[in-house]
Amino acid sequence: MNQDTICAIATAQGGAIGSIRVSGADAIAITNQIFTPVKVGKRLTDRKPYTLTFGRIYNGDELLDEVLVSLFRAPHSYTGEDSTEITCHGSAYILQQVMQLLIRNGCRMAQPGEFTQRAFLNGKMDLSQAEAVADLIASSSAATHRLAMSQMRGGFSKELANLREQLLNFTSMIELELDFSEEDVEFADRSALRTLADGIEKIIERLVNSFNVGNAIKNGIPVAIIGETNAGKSTLLNVLLNEEKAIVSDIHGTTRDVIEDTINIGGITFRFIDTAGIRDTNDTIENLGIERTFQKLDQAEIVLWMIDATDASSQIKQLSSKILPHCKNKYVILAFNKSDLILEEQKESINSLVSHLAHNHISSIFISAKNRYNTEELQQLLISATHLPTVTQNDVIVSNVRHYHALSRALDAIHRVQQGLDINLSGDLLSQDIRDCIFHLSDIAGEVTNDMILQNIFMKFCIGK
């Protein structure tokens, strides 16, 4: 249990209103020392929890601000400790002066994530819920918000707790058998254990497989923009981002390195990767950029192949053998740029070429990035290419890499349990594999996590949370 009292500014700079959070054993007493209530008899130390008190804060004889103080008493607060929140005007000067007063009276400046870390240590939430707090703050779309809310409300935690309870029941029965090994008594029905293991395997496997969706929603769906030099890749990136992110020039080979940025389209985050144009060149630096193009092509989920419509036949024939082998299980969109410079008959000829390409997931569209023709239709095509399910706050989807690795190890352990049951493995060895599975599931909730891992997790939080 933490004994010192911490404080931090909890609102972003520049707003009209600012908030300072204080938490710890002396939070109410310290706040009371710097706060003068407007009404006599409204001392904070005498106030009930969940109350607001209006008053003033002075720095010596100088009035700093008129403020509202919210009061929470342990264990019914965010951190599980006595806490106050001081709401004042958002002036950086006022906020810093109040912070200095709190520190002079016994507070310590909070570390990043320390309020949420105390909530975890005081049993107000498990580790997966604490991590969801950071995800909620960082959410930039409706989908990422729903993912974080689902995890913070404990849907994921409840599912893990149910799995652990079932496994603990069985391992206790198996270990009870070991105590009566001389009597040759079987307390754990092996067929029932196999049924349980199969059911748990399906649940863990579903959670592991959901990571692809969760990771895409959280970090953005990678879209590689590829094609020959001067096809209009950088122009399109600038149009999609609505800013001059990439250099645009008529000179071939302008883009020599990978340029990445994200944008939210229709509630989905896309991570666009503008790559070096693919062509035969003796330029060493440009060739390094082209190598990186194919590396990013392998990492992308959607491939946006930009083709100069005025030279479409030549570019498709030259690059299809280089590009399409890297696009297995990826959705490919052929964007024929500069389509305002070709006739309808030429478009029909291009469509015929596309229909003969050997790829299962491919579509095409005629655009003009320079004139912004069909670029909104291209965005809709990108949305449909994601095939992301609609996520609600009740869905349990894994988006955290640490959780994914722990679940993968738990899945390996339950596979060993299944294999052990198939070969009639002894109870002590079965029990060890079950306990390994329990260990990895418990690691997600923070029940077995060491201090170093905790420090690494919470140091990524913002100060004040």
Annotated binding site for K(+): 230, 249, 251, 254
Q: Binding site: what residues are annotated?
A: 21, 85, 124, 230-235, 249-255, 274-277, 465
Residue 226, strand partner residues: 305
Structure tokens at 328: 């297995």
On whether the CB atoms of residues 365 and 374 are closer than 8 A, the answer is yes
Q: CB within 8 A of 143, min separation 6: which ones?
A: 217, 267, 268, 269, 388, 391
Q: Binding site for Mg(2+): what residues are annotated?
A: 234, 255
Residue at token pair 């002894």: 426
The CA distance from 185 to 454, in Å, is 43
The CA distance from 396 to 128, in Å, is 12
Q: Binding site for (6S)-5-formyl-5,6,7,8-tetrahydrofolate: what residues are annotated?
A: 21, 85, 124, 465
The amino acid that residue 29 corresponds to is: A
3-state per-residue secondary structure call for 299-354 = HCCEEEEEEEHHHHHHHHHHHHHHHHHHCCCCEEEEEEECHHHCCHHHHHHHHHHH
> Euclidean distance between the first and final Cα of the chain, in Å?
18
Q: Strand 221-227 relative to strand 268-274: parallel, antiparallel, unpaired?
A: parallel
Cis peptide bond N-terminal to 37, omega within 30? no
**What is the CB neighbour count within 10 angstroms for residue 405?**
15
The CA distance from 224 to 365, in Å, is 16
75: nearest Cα among 49, 57, 97, 54: 49
The CA distance from 84 to 69, in Å, is 7
The CA distance from 313 to 303, in Å, is 19
CA-to-CA separations, 374 to 39, 339, 340, 365, 377, in angstroms, rounded: 65, 10, 11, 8, 5
Residue 251: DSSP 8-state: S
The CA distance from 37 to 66, in Å, is 10
Length of the chain: 465
Structure tokens at 373: 């023709």
Cis peptide bond N-terminal to 75, omega within 30? yes
Q: Binding site for GTP: what residues are annotated?
A: 230-235, 249-255, 274-277
Q: Count Cβ atoms within 10 A of the Cβ of residue 392 and give its class: 0-12 exposed, 13-18 middle, 19 or more buried.
A: exposed
